[in-house]
Amino acid sequence: MMRKVKVNDCCEFPLELDMSVYTREYIEGRTEDVAARQGTGYYRFHLKGVLVHTGTADSGHYYSFVKERHGGSVSTTGP
């Protein structure tokens, strides 16, 4: 039986993300292909924002935290 569950755990995100372990090459065990690109910054991303949901598994609202382009502070957007 499938049931909806709302996860209310606290999550933290680094400002720089290394996505190499989420690639097809890594999952298929082709780590030499991943290693060849690792030093180039190919899999590195800078976090720009986070989408947050409040409410239950059936309803609620979304809002986001978005890093400003200039100045580097964080602002909130949404309703």
Q: How far apart are CA 73 and CA 51, in angstroms?
A: 17
**pLDDT attached to residue 20:** 92
List Cβ neighbours of 77 (8 Å cut-off, separation of 6 or more). 63, 64, 66
**pLDDT attached to residue 78:** 56
Cα torsion angle, 7, 14, 32, 25, sign: positive
Domain boundaries, the chain: 15-45, 48-79
Query: Tens digits of per-residue pLDDT, 16-57?
Result: 999 999 999 999 999 898 999 988 889 999 999 999 988 888
Answer whether 0.75 is exceeded by the pTM: no
Query: Tens digits of per-residue pLDDT, 2-18?
Result: 888 888 888 888 899 99
